[in-house]
Amino acid sequence: MKKKFLSSGVAIATLTIGLVSTNGLQSGAVSNPTVLTEETNVGVTFTNNFNPADSQSTSTQMATNGLSFEPLIQYNSLKPGVWYPWLATKEVFNSTGQKVTFTMNPKAVWSNGVKLTAQDVANEFNAMSTNGSLNVFGVPTLAAPATYTATTVTLTYTTPQFSNREALGGVMIFPVTGDPGIPANSIITSGNQQLMNTDVIGSGPYLPTGYSGQLLKYTASPHWNLTKKPYVTGVNIPYFASNQAATEALVSHQLDWAGNDIPQIQTTFVGRDPKHNHFYYPAGSTVTLWFNTSLSAPSGQRSCLHDANFRYAISMAMDRNQLASIGETGFAKPATSSSGMTPSQLAYQGKYKNNLPLNGWTLKQVSKFLLSKGYTLDSSSYWQVTGAAAQKATQLQQGTECSFSIQDPTGYSDYAEDEQLISASLQGVHINVNTIGVTTGQWNTNIFTHNFDAMIHWGAGGTNPYSQFENWLGDPANTGGSTNYGEYANPAAQQILVAMAATQLGTPQFQAQANKLSAIMTSDVPAAPILYGPDWDVYSTARFTGWVTPSNQYAYPGPGGNSVGFVLTRLTKTTN
C-alpha cells in the first residue's frame, strides 16, 4: 500500500458507512451531478482546521490541501522529467545550481480575486526559512532572502540544488505575512495555527465551504483562472470509520473516486459494472518498516533498535513475498533492493539490485548473525543483549531482552495485516515483536512526535531517488527535510545528501552519491524496505471522465496526492 497521505485495503468490519448515510450520498450525487464525492482517508476525526502547514490539520490528514493550495510547478510522478506550468510557468537554475528563478503565471490569482504575485512566493520562502514550522515541503533554508521582480522570484541557496528541483517547484503556495490584499485571519503564520474553513484563501481551484464532523464540502473558487472553469463544481469528502465502509460506498456508486486495495477487485468491483468501474495501481514508492532509532522511543530502553545490526537482522528475517501476496492482496510487489529504490529506479541500484531475501532468513541464519553481534537467547527464548558489541551498539545493559512494537492504524487494514505477518515471522526467529493498533489521528500525532518504536509507512515516491533518500535519511537542520520520523542521526548521510542535491540526475556524480546512500540504507537500515507500494486509484466513469489511466498517465492517479486539484480540473462529463 502506498498513498501519499492515506491508506487503503479492505477489513471485514462494519457494514455501515461511518457517520454518513448512504441515502445522503446518493441523493447528493443526483441533485448535484457536478459534485464529486471522494474517499481520501479513514478513521480521521474531523476538526475545523484547514492549515496546510499543520501536519495534524484535517486537510492534511485527509489529503485535501491540494484542492485549495497549488504548487508552482506540477511534476508528473509517473513520468521522469515531465512537468506542467501551473502557478509558475518556468523553473530555471543558474549554472552553479545555487539559484533558481520561477517565472510567475500571469493567470495566478488568490481565491479572493487578488493577483498572486512573485512577491507572495518570495514571502512564503522567506517565512519558511525563518519559521521551521511552515517548512513542510522538505526544502533547504535560503542563503539569502528571496528576491522578486514584477514577474519572477529568485531563491538563493548555499549549495547547488539541481536534484531538489521537484521539491522546490512542488511547494504549495499559501498566504503568509506581507502578502498584499490578504485579510489577517487568512494569513498562515505557524504550523500549529488553526485555520478555519471560512478563513481559507487559497491558490487552488476549490475552497472548503462546508464543514462538519461527518462531511467536508469544497466548492469551486469563483476566481480560479489557471484553467477553464472546472466541470467539477464541488467535492464532498465524507467521514468513513473503516476501509470496508468506504469500499461498500464505492461499489454502490456512492463514491466517484477512492484509494482502496479491494480484494478480488475484478469480481467485487469491476465485474459489478464493467463499463464504469475501473482501477489503476501503478507502482509508487517503497513501503518500509520504519524504525525509531532513538533511545527515547517508547521501548527505547529495551527495543535494541538503536543497534544497526539488530535492525539488519529484522530486515533480513521478514518474509516479503508473504507481505505482498497476503497483506497487499497481490497488488504490491516485494521489495528486492536494500537501497529502497523502486523498480523504476533500477538503473541507479547498482550492486544493491535484488539483494534482499524475499522469503526471509531462516532461524539458523538469524541465529548465526545475532550471535556474532553479541546477542544470545534468554530463558524465554528471545534475543537479549549479552556481549560487549551489543551493549555498546544498543547502549543497554547486559541481559536486556530485546522487545519492541509495530504501530499502525486499525483502519488501515492492509497495514494491520502486514504488521501481524511481520510479527509472526520475527517471533519465529525469536525476535520479540508486538503490534499496536491505534486510530488514524493518533498515529499521525505519534509519527510527528516520534511516539513509536516501528511503523509501516510509505515513502516519498516520485521518479528521483534523491527524494526517497532524503525522506528516510534527511536531517531537517541540514537538508531541509520535514520528516526524520525515526530520529536517525548520521552526519555522513547529511553530507552525501547535500552532495547529491548538487548533482544533475543521471550523471556519474549522481550515481556515486546514490551508491553511498544505498550503502547506508543497507548497513544502517534506518528503514527496512518491504514492498513496492502501488498508487491505489479506484474510480468510476458513471458521471466523470478524464481520469489518469494506463494510457493517459498525466499525474499521480489517486486522491491522496498533492495533484488532486490538477486532476479534478481535467475531468469532464461522461456522455455515454
pLDDT tens for each residue of 411-428: 888 899 999 999 999 999
Asked if the structure places residue 11 within a domain, the reply is no
d(CA 46, CA 237): 11
Residue 480 and residue 386 in one domain: yes
How high is the pLDDT of residue 393? 98
Q: Which helix (H) or strand (E) holds 572?
A: strand 572-573
Do 462 and 417 belong together in one domain? Answer: yes
pLDDT tens-place string over residues 263-282 = 778 888 899 899 999 999 98
Among 18-27, 69-78, 409-418, 532-541, which is the least confidently predicted range?
A: 18-27
208: in domain: yes
Backbone angles phi, psi at 202, to 5 degrees: -115, 175
Position 295 scores a pLDDT of 96
**DSSP E strands, 15-105:** 35-37, 73-75, 83-85, 88-93, 99-104
Q: Judge whether residue 331 has pLDDT over 90.
A: no
φ, ψ (nearest 5 deg) of residue 118: -60, -30
Over residues 396-421, mean pLDDT? 94
How would you label 163-198 residue by residue, b for 16+ Cβ within 10 Å and e otherwise?
bbbbbbbbbbbbbbeebeebeeebbbbebeeebebe
Q: What's residue 352's pLDDT? A: 96
Question: Does 486 score more than 60 pLDDT?
Answer: yes
374/433 same-domain check: yes
pLDDT at 529: 97
Helix axes 508-524, 491-501, angle to 10 degrees: 160
The residue-averaged pLDDT of 117-121 equals 98
Q: Mention every residue, 6+ apart, whose C-beta is less than 8 A from residue 36.
A: 232, 234, 235, 236, 256, 257, 543, 544, 568, 571
304 domain residue, yes or no: yes
Tell me what the mean pLDDT of segment 34-45 comes to: 90
Nearest to 262 by CA among 539, 10, 559, 7: 10
Find the length of the chain.
576
Can you tell me the distance from the alpha carbon of 546 to that of 236, in angstroms, rounded to the nearest whole number? 19
Does an H or E element contain 245, and which?
helix 243-251
Kindly tell me the sign of the dihedral angle through the C-alpha atoms of 212, 216, 217, 220.
positive
What pLDDT score does 482 carry? 56
Query: Tens of pLDDT along 154-168?
Result: 999 999 999 999 999
Strands 35-37 and 73-75: unpaired
Whether 503 is covered by a domain: the verdict is yes
Give the per-residue pLDDT at 261. 73
Three-state secondary structure call for residue 544: strand
* DSSP code for 109: B
pLDDT at 6: 32
- pLDDT tens for 313-324 read 999 999 999 999
Domain harbouring 326, CATH code: 3.10.105.10
- Judge whether residue 1 has pLDDT over 50: no
Which is it for the CA torsion 519, 520, 524, 527, positive or negative?
negative
Q: What is the average pLDDT across 128-141? A: 90
Q: Note whether 259 and 310 are same-domain residues.
A: no
Judgement on whether residues 241 and 333 belong to the same structural domain of the protein = no
What pLDDT is recorded for position 31? Answer: 58
Q: Helix 465-473 vs helix 508-524: angle between axes, to the nearest 10 degrees?
A: 40
| Residue 316, pLDDT score | 98
Domain tally, the chain: 3
Q: Other C-beta atoms within 10 Å of 462: how many? A: 24
Round the average pLDDT of the chain to a whole number and report it.
90
Cβ atoms of 172 and 71 within 8 Å: the answer is yes
Which CATH number does the domain housing residue 241 bear? 3.40.190.10
Q: What angle do CA 177, 66, 464 make, to 5 degrees?
A: 100
242-257 in b/e form (b: 16+ CB < 10 A) is: bbbbbbbbbbebbbbb
pLDDT of residue 22: 39
474 against 472, higher pLDDT? 472
At 25, the pLDDT band (50, 70, 90 cuts) reads: very low
Which letter does DSSP use for residue 199 in this model? G
Q: For 407, how many CA atoms within 13 A lie in the half-sphere containing its CB?
A: 23
Would 308 be classed as within a structural domain?
yes
DSSP state of 408: E
Q: What pLDDT does 238 receive?
A: 94
Residues 512 and 567 in one domain: no
The answer on pLDDT for 453 being more than 70 is: yes
Domain annotation covers residue 150: yes
Residues 343 and 445 reside in one and the same domain = yes
Residue after which a domain boundary falls, among 117, 152, 169: 169
Determine which of 85-94, 227-236, 435-444 has the lowest per-residue pLDDT on average. Answer: 435-444
Looking at the structure, do residues 424 and 451 belong to the same domain, yes or no? yes
pLDDT range class, residue 481, cuts 50, 70, 90 = low
Answer yes or no: is pLDDT of 24 > 90. no
Number of H helices, E strands in the chain: 18, 23
Shared-domain flag, residues 398 and 518: yes
The rounded percent of the chain whose pLDDT value lies above 90 is 75
- Do residues 307 and 443 both lie within one domain? yes
Using an 8 Å Cβ cutoff, are 474 and 468 in contact?
no
State yes or no: pLDDT of 29 exceeds 80: no
Q: Is the pLDDT of residue 21 over 50?
A: no
Longest Cα separation, the chain:
73
**Over residues 514-534, mean pLDDT:** 96
Residue 476 lies in a domain: yes
Percent of the chain residues past pLDDT 70, beyond the cut: 93
pLDDT at 3 over 70: no
How far apart CA 349 and CA 340 sit, in angstroms, is 9
496 with 529, same domain: the answer is yes
Q: How buried is 297 (Cβ within 10 angstroms: 0-12 exposed, 13-18 middle, 19+ buried)?
A: buried
The more confidently predicted of residues 240 and 262 is 240
Range of the domain at 383: 284-534
| pLDDT confidence of residue 572 | 97
pLDDT-derived band at 8 (thresholds 50, 70, 90) equals very low
More confident residue, 501 or 344: 501
- The CATH number of whichever domain residue 110 belongs to comes to 3.90.76.10
Strands 454-457, 283-291: parallel, antiparallel or unpaired by DSSP? Answer: antiparallel
Quote the pLDDT of residue 477. Answer: 59
Average pLDDT over residues 445-461: 92
Phi/psi of residue 81, nearest 5 degrees = 80, 0
Quick one: 244 and 304 in the same domain? no
Specify if 178 maps to a domain. Answer: no
- In the block, residue with C-alpha cell 510522478: 77
- 128 to each of 99, 124, 191, how far by Cα in Å? 17, 6, 10
Q: Which pLDDT band holds residue 2 (cuts at 50, 70, 90)? A: very low
Which of 149, 169, 189 is at the close of a domain? 169
H-run or E-run covering 468:
helix 465-473
Rounded Cα distance, 14 and 30, in Å: 26
pLDDT at 478 over 70: no
pLDDT surpassing 90 at residue 32: no
Give residue 334's pLDDT.
96
